Amino acid sequence: MADERLTQFLKEGKDWERKPTSIPGVFLLKLPTFRSRPDCIVIEVNPVDTSGSPTKKRGIIIRSGSELDQIRNILTNVKLEQLAKSIDEVNPEVKTAAKSSSDVFEI
């Protein structure tokens, strides 16, 4: 599924520019050239607050379909869910401030 908007973002986007998509918590991120790897666009999965702004400085970066499959397998592991629940019981609750968002990349 080639998209002209993705091609334009790859050519004209600024290095490290993050674009929101119509999927809450999913962003497009333009990575700059690094060593032998050319500029590229990756998917960033980053939880959002009530205004749609990312809650972390960097989320999970997905570079390909096969990497998505690997991450999906990790995230569906029952032991990971148990670990997350255990951490919730131990860690104190964190409150965040709300921000505004615009220019959504429709998926």
Q: What is the pLDDT of residues 33-74, one digit of tens each?
A: 899 889 999 999 999 998 888 888 999 999 999 999 999 999
With 80 as the cut, is the pLDDT of residue 25 above it?
yes
Average pLDDT of the residues in 76-104: 81
The Cα diameter of the chain in Å comes to 47
Average pLDDT of the residues in 66-85: 94
The length of the chain is 107
What is the C-alpha separation between 31 and 84, in angstroms, rounded?
30
Indicate yes or no: pTM above 0.95.
Answer: no
Nearest alpha carbon to residue 106 among 8, 19, 21, 5: 21
Ramachandran sector of residue 28 (left: φ over 0; alpha: ψ -120 to 50; beta: rest): beta
Long-range Cβ pairs for the range 45-48 (8 Å, 24+): 48/24
Average pLDDT of the residues in 87-92: 92
Q: Please give the structure tokens belonging to residue 45.
A: 């999965």
With 70 as the cut, is the pLDDT of residue 1 above it?
no
